[in-house]
Amino acid sequence: MRNLRGVDLTHFKTDIEAALGSDPPTTVDEFSDRLRSVMDVHAPASRRLKRQRLITPWYSSISTQLRALKQEKRRAERQWRSTKLTVHKQIMASVKHQITRLVDSAKTTFYCAKVAAANTCKDLFSVANGLLGKVQTTVLPSNISPQQLAQTFSDFFSDKVKAIRDSIDQQAVVDCDFSVGHFEGEPLAQFHSVDDRTVLEIMMKMPPKTCELDAIPTSFLFNCSDVVVSTLTNLLNDCITNGIVPSGLKKAIVKPLLKKPSLDPNLLKHFRPVSNLSFVSKLLEKLVLKQLQQHLDVNDLWPVFQSAYRRHHCTETALLRVFNDLLNANDSNQVSVLTLLDLSSAFDTIDHGILLHRLESVYGITGTALSFFRSYLSDRSQVVSVRGCYSEPSALAYGVPQGSVLGPILFLLYTQPLSQIVSKHQVSHHMFADDTELYKTSPRDNIPSLLEAMQSCTTDVKLWTIQNKLQLNEEKTEAFFVATSHSSSFPTSMKIGQHDISFTGSARNLGVVFDDTLSMVDQVNKICQVCYIEIRKIASIRHYLTTDATKTLITSLVISRLDYCNSLLVGIPQHLLDKLQRIMNCAARVIFRLSRRDHITPFLTQLHWLPLNARIEYKVATMVFHVVDNTAPSYLSELVHLYAPSRTLRSSADSRIFRIPKVRLRSQGQRSFAYAGPVIWNSLPYNVRHATSEVAFKTQLKTYLFSKSYC
């Protein structure tokens, strides 16, 4: 433990400059040691644990006044007990009322400031839980000492990955040709050095999180950034240009986290390892990632149907494409099979040899750049931390580092061949990190062939995962038929390898509930359930919050849920839209403390909240604008096409009109993005459609929808 509050940042910065200036360090480890030595002088580490009395955070501002009022209350109570006069009882009640008002005022001031300072939803959740009296504690197995528990977790996490790898190695591998293409173009042979300005820009954009491996707190490093940036840049450039990652940057602190609060904490399998890496290591990875992304962009090497960790790609764009294809299939009176694959510990079992070979042969990474990744993956270790106690270091022979910057991108490149395997079976697919969606459509009289093609595809996917040291979890894999109407003749299950996967009626897909008719009834019901729970929580602490603070909490915890993937709700029945609109109305009533009888529309306009149907139109129109602006994912751009008349018309002068495809059903085809996108876009005023930037478009679009809804 270090007493950081007593550190004089001015003197600390001066000492840091002196430690680095005279004889600059030549290695990252030496750099960290010098920073740590200065830290030891200003804030020495102490092993003694001080038991401090927990003081309510808002108490200090009113402690003196509150103490005086409590003394006055006790005097008034003694006087009333001795006289039993009504006037003395009234005096006592008046003092009690003053105490209550003082405490409420202090809580309101404190928590409103906390809400205003919160930058993330996590911070807002923390504030709300603090008001609700929920203390966020790390739940761990009981009756085990922290030292023993840390080692137990370390052995469990290591044995789990080893068991998966051993299980994969024991499976019979069928000799299948899953060859991928070879890189053709200018290889990435070396990462270029960077200047101080680049390092400083990336550094300041990173979150100020501190890891136990950091020599000094990240906030202190930011304060001394102008002093350390030159030395830090030279050290990082040595790593980048020479292709060597120092051993000190290949260590991780792992903390076990319970997956769900409802799970039994005494079972280790209910915990997931959360890795923390040093700030300098993440900074180095960001510098490398920037150049790696440029190489992938220039050579167009990104997987087309992979939406994770990519700019302008998200879960909503991925789901929108899958949803569009399924709706169009239903509109054509076809049947679809949707299969959601699940990989077990996918990031932890990646084979380093296969990954390095794929980086070189498929992505053209050679020379010192490839040496960097070889050094980055080798000789890594992790230590489990539990309540200040640490396990023995354990080597990481497999996988990409959890919690790292490069790890997710390396995983995407590792699993890229899956797209080619699926495409060979003429099965459509989409991937978001390790979540994979497979779907295929066919006429109703050809269901056996449809099922055979899907089973053949999943079998090859299973074989590929075995060859590439990944484990497909059949127990968590879900599949179901998607059709406008279902028949008893539909099969009830399908095979993946030797496992039977029973067809279900619905499944959760990237946070959205898909049902077998795409009605979105289950999704709307789920949204209502979760949102009303959050509204009740906020309503119970409303008296501690100002109107602005309440609005911030409502927007982050309720309205954000209404807006998540709401482009999938276009064209749903009005009664479902009404259910969601009632959530918004209820949220507004909590903000302004209104009764049910108060007319809500004036308050919605005061909040500048668009009604639910307008919010859906806003989201769909924004997606189409990205297509016009050439910033949308390619798999969305190919769904809509600009209108090109065969002869000159008055409308020919408008270059931003989309062609509306012909569809059959209002409940299916008209809800697809290929149809709804052009319809909503073409209905916008000329000035909105021809906005020159995204900011201008969104501003004009909201103004138009606002006037359309409330005027």
- Radius of gyration over every alpha carbon of the chain, rounded to an integer in angstroms: 30
- Residue 427: Cβ within 10 Å count: 22
pLDDT reported for residue 133: 62
415 backbone φψ class: left, alpha, beta (φ>0; ψ -120 to 50): alpha
One-letter identity of residue 229: V
Strand partners, 39: none
One-letter identity of residue 146: P
How far is it between the farthest Cα atoms of the chain?
101
**C-alpha torsion angle, residues 319, 323, 324, 327 (rounded to 10):** 180
Task: Enumerate residues 6+ apart whose C-beta is below 8 A from 186.
Answer: 298, 299, 364
Strand partners, 394: 382
Q: Report the distance separating Cα 627 and Cα 275, nearest Å.
A: 38
Tokens matching residue 480: 């179901």
The H or E element that residue 392 is part of is: none
Tokens matching residue 323: 């949803």
Chunked into runs of 10 residues, the chain (711 residues) has average pLDDT values of 78 86 84 88 68 62 88 92 91 92 85 74 70 66 83 91 87 64 86 93 88 88 89 93 91 88 84 89 94 92 90 94 95 93 87 92 93 94 89 90 88 90 91 92 90 90 90 88 84 82 90 93 96 91 83 89 95 95 96 92 94 96 95 94 74 78 93 96 93 94 94 75
CB contact at 8 A, 202 and 240: no
Tokens matching residue 704: 């138009």
At 365 the three-state DSSP class reads: strand
Tokens matching residue 653: 């002068």
Which residue stretches of 339-403 are H helix? 352-361, 367-377
Strand partners, 172: none
Q: Report the distance separating Cα 397 and Cα 349, nearest Å.
A: 9
pLDDT reported for residue 111: 76
Cα-based distances in Å from 157 to 151, 278, 348, 354, 523: 10, 21, 10, 23, 35
pLDDT reported for residue 592: 95
pLDDT reported for residue 55: 58
Nearest to 132 by CA among 547, 527, 553: 553
CB contact at 8 A, 336 and 462: no
Q: Report the distance separating Cα 469 and Cα 165, nearest Å.
A: 7
Buried b (16+ CB within 10 A) or exposed e, 377-409: beebebbbbbeeebbeebebebbbbbbbbbbbb
CB contact at 8 A, 503 and 480: yes
The dihedral of CA 399, 404, 408, 410: what is its sign? Answer: negative
- Residue 523: Cβ within 10 Å count: 23
One-letter identity of residue 234: N
pLDDT reported for residue 136: 55
Tokens matching residue 251: 């260590």
Strand partners, 226: none
Q: Report the distance separating Cα 123 and Cα 160, nearest Å.
A: 33
pLDDT reported for residue 445: 87
